[in-house]
């Protein structure tokens, strides 16, 4: 009965991946692991799992707002890589950045508008990833990053290529209690109260036509609240706000 | 992003460089991002932390204490450190399930994980901070990782 517990090699892989994500591996081992990731799916998978598991710890670092000079510097570098990729022969002065249908997300105005919290930058970059991997037919005119009210963590992006049609894109899978549902609401300045846009499934993108509502406006509020499984019984939000944000016009 | 980088590299200018490089890096690799591999946010922070950790690991190599020397430290020392440890981090933000699992760890083990993840400390630096032998810190970290994984499964 005293047989020692056999070492499971999968546990070693897990610990190695965990230490890699924690950052405790010495420089040489760290480099070795990063090189193995490309060819070892099991290790890559273990690393991804650890990154997701430990991600909440990023909240323990006090958020530092993005200074304007850094936002401009990043913007300049992104513009640079875009111009290089597209038309190296065209002089910069003849480029028309406002016409950049693919480059709206590195528009400086948008970055500045979102640079209020430490999470803003991650929100914009998350939107970059999601929207670049889910191509849209027309360049968006409005964008909303919906963040959790307490920690400002971004959970969803709304983008609208017209004032009549919006897409709601998840940045992760929101946790919703089994006996509750997420309901999507909007309210523009001057409206009496929020109007329901229907129920939303966590982690699932949604396309919506706003044909029964006035056209989308700048600063229009969007929010997701926790409601009974069939939605709010009174047509107004009754549960706590899970995600909230306002529309930013993309010039 | 800047806050996370700053906590690890502890120098404002270097932290800004890291956030800049991370954005350019994320931008240029965005087409290679695969949503099945995890959340966009997770990937973004992993890029920031990866660059920050590379920066400190390469710069702080000299701190790595000779393993043989520390093995000779009294075993008492680790027992003492284990019992003395108070929690060095406030876990009052909403960390979800992770919070519960971290709180289930002994304070000394929990501190190892947090000093490493949040502050980018190496084994040697954690040993110094906690006043525990290097080998003990390594064992605590391995044990903590195993417990956390089980707890969060």
Average pLDDT over residues B126-150: 93
For residue A137, what pLDDT band results from cuts at 50, 70 and 90?
A: low
Is B44's CB within 8 Å of A126's CB? yes
Q: Which of B40, B125, B146, B150 to mutate to test the interface with A (most CBs of A within 10 A)?
A: B40
* A49 vs B87, more confident: A49
Can you tell me the ipTM of this complex?
0.84
Q: CA separation (Å) from B34 to A47, A132, A133, B31, B37? A: 14, 11, 8, 8, 6
What mean pLDDT value characterizes chain A? 78
Q: Is the pLDDT reported for residue A103 higher than 50?
A: no
Average pLDDT over residues A157-165: 82
Q: CA separation (Å) from A180 to A68, A142, A235? A: 41, 29, 16
Cα–Cα distance measured from residue A221 to residue A244, given in angstroms and rounded to the nearest whole number:
7
Burial of A92 (0-12, 13-18, 19+ CB in 10 A): exposed
CB contact at 8 A, A236 and A225: no
| Per-residue pLDDT at A92 | 40
Q: Report the share of chain A in percent with pLDDT over 90.
A: 33
Token digits of residue B152: 């969060």
| Per-residue pLDDT at A187 | 93
| Per-residue pLDDT at B80 | 63
Cα–Cα distance measured from residue B74 to residue A141, given in angstroms and rounded to the nearest whole number:
66
| Per-residue pLDDT at A4 | 46
Domains, chain B, in order of start with CATH, read 2-59 (1.10.1740.10), 63-152 (1.10.10.10)
Weakest-pLDDT range from A10-24, B4-18, B30-44, B113-127 = B30-44
Measured in residues, chain A has a length of 251
Q: Is the pLDDT reported for residue A30 higher than 60?
A: yes
| Per-residue pLDDT at A251 | 59
Which residues in chain B are contacts of A59 at CB distance < 8 A?
93-95
B13 CA to chain A: closest CA distance, Å?
A: 10
For residue A142, what pLDDT band results from cuts at 50, 70 and 90?
A: confident
pLDDT digits (tens, 9 = 90+) for A185-212: 999 988 989 999 999 998 888 888 888 8
What mean pLDDT value characterizes chain B? 80
Domains, chain A, in order of start with CATH, read 9-60 (no CATH), 68-249 (2.60.40)
* A130 vs B137, more confident: B137
Q: Find, among A100, A75, A76, A71, the residue nearest to A87 by Cα.
A: A100
| Per-residue pLDDT at A231 | 93
| Per-residue pLDDT at B36 | 61
> Out of B7, B26, B149, whose CB is closest to A125?
B26
CA nearest to A55 within chain B: B42
Highest mean pLDDT among A51-55, A114-118, B93-97: A51-55
Q: Collect all residues with Cβ–Cβ distance below 8 Å to A131 and sequence separation of at least 6.
A: A105, A140, A157, A159, A169
Is A128's CB within 8 Å of B42's CB? no
* A87 vs B127, more confident: B127
| Per-residue pLDDT at A24 | 94
| Per-residue pLDDT at A153 | 73
How many residue pairs from chains A and B have C-beta atoms closer than 8 A?
Answer: 180
pLDDT digits (tens, 9 = 90+) for A85-99: 544 443 443 333 333
């Amino acid at each position: 009965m005293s047989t020692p517990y056999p070492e499971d090699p999968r546990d070693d892989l897990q610990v190695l991946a965990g230490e890699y994500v924690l950052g405790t591996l010495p420089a040489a081992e760290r480099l070795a692991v990063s090189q193995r990731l490309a060819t070892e799916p099991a290790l890559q998978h273990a690393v991804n799992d650890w990154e997701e598991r430990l991600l909440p710890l990023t909240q323990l670092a006090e958020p530092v707002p993005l200074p304007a000079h850094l936002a401009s510097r990043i913007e300049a570098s992104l513009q640079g890589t875009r111009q290089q990729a597209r038309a190296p022969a065209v002089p910069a002065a003849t480029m028309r950045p406002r016409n950049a249908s693919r480059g709206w997300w590195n528009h400086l105005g948008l970055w500045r508008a979102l640079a209020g919290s430490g999470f803003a930058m991650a929100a914009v970059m998350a939107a970059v990833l999601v929207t670049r991997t889910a191509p849209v037919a027309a360049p968006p005119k409005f964008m909303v990053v919906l963040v959790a009210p307490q920690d400002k963590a971004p959970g969803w992006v709304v983008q609208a290529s017209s004032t009549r049609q919006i897409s709601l894109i998840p940045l992760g899978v929101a946790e919703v209690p089994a006996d509750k549902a997420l309901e999507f609401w909007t309210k523009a300045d001057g409206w009496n109260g929020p109007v329901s846009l229907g129920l939303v499934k966590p982690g699932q993108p949604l396309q919506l036509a706003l044909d029964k509502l006035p056209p989308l406006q700048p600063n229009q509020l969007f929010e997701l609240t926790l409601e009974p499984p069939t939605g709010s019984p009174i047509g107004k939000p009754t549960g706590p706000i899970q995600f909230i944000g306002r529309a930013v016009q993309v010039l | 992003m800047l806050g996370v980088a700053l906590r690890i590299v502890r120098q404002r200018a270097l932290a800004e460089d890291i956030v800049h490089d991370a954005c350019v890096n994320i931008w240029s690799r965005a087409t290679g991002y695969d949503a099945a591999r995890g959340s966009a946010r997770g990937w973004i922070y992993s890029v920031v932390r990866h660059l920050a950790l590379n920066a400190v690991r390469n710069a702080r190599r000299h701190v790595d204490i000779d393993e043989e020397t520390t093995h000779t430290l009294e075993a008492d020392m680790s027992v003492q450190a284990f019992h003395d440890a108070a929690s060095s981090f406030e876990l009052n933000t909403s960390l979800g399930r992770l919070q519960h699992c971290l709180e289930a760890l002994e304070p000394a083990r929990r501190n190892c994980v947090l000093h490493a993840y949040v502050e980018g400390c190496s084994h040697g630096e954690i040993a110094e901070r906690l006043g525990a032998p290097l080998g003990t810190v390594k064992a605590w970290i391995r044990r903590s990782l195993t417990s956390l994984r089980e707890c969060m499964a």
